[in-house]
Amino acid sequence: MPQQFLPPEQWFASLPTAYLAAFGLITDESGRVLLVDPNYREHWTLPGGVVEDGEAPHLACQREVAEEVGLERTAGALLALQWSAPRGRRPKPFCSFVFDCGRVHSGVAITLQEEELDGYAFVEPRAAVGMLDPALSPRLAAALRAREEGGTVYVT
């Protein structure tokens, strides 16, 4: 008996989905990490945010970095990819991409997106990892390691 396949629209609708976010690792000339302080959560984070429908993650990173800190940066190498299981009110997994957005001079002009951010800082790498939510700090640690050693780190 021949196997029956679902019509493409039904098959695609049956596939699991996930939320996507993209962030940029930006450091100054001494290696300090650019962090932003969101006004809607307790911990600091990297510049970045949610990938819009149909948007490529590297382009979302560039858009979010420009929106949040006013820097036009090219999303370079993918440094880290973190998969986070559903939790709390979030019913689906989150996949977060961290791209290398290079180095800037510590005196670079930062223009904050005031609707979402209360501040920014260039922070020593070890301290920066500690300023992130504990569920997200492995993402930054992995991205820093990947930049130093080359390659991409998958974080679960």
Kindly report, residue by residue over 3-30, the tens digit of the pLDDT. 788 999 999 999 889 999 999 999 999 9
Compute how many other C-beta atoms are within 10 angstroms of the C-beta atom of residue 131.
16
Q: How far apart are CA 93 and CA 84, in angstroms?
A: 5
Among candidate residues 31, 29, 33, 69, the one with its CA nearest the CA of residue 49: 69
Q: Hey, what CATH topology would domain 16-155 get?
A: Nucleoside Triphosphate Pyrophosphohydrolase (3.90.79)
Q: Which of 4-8, 17-21, 38-42, 116-120 has the lowest mean pLDDT?
A: 4-8
Angle at 146 between CA 47 and CA 99, to 5 degrees: 30
- The pTM for the full model equals 0.93
The confidence band for 146, taking pLDDT boundaries of 50, 70 and 90, is very high
Residue 101 has what pLDDT? 98
Give mean pLDDT, residues 87-113: 95
- For residues 56 and 6, which has the higher predicted lDDT (pLDDT)? 56
Up-side HSE of residue 76: CA atoms within 13 Å toward CB? 13
In single-letter form, the type of residue at position 139 comes to R
Provide CB contacts within 8 A for 63, sequence distance 6+. 55
Q: Where are the domains of the chain?
A: 16-155
How many helices (H) and strands (E) are present in the chain, helices listed first?
4, 7
Residue 1 has what pLDDT? 66
In single-letter form, the type of residue at position 143 comes to A
Question: Can you list the pairs that 66-71 forms with residues at least 24 positions away whose Cβ atoms lie under 8 Å?
Answer: 67/113, 68/36, 68/112, 68/113, 68/116, 68/117, 69/26, 69/34, 69/36, 69/110, 69/111, 69/112, 69/113, 69/120, 70/109, 70/110, 70/111, 70/112, 71/26, 71/47, 71/101, 71/104, 71/108, 71/110
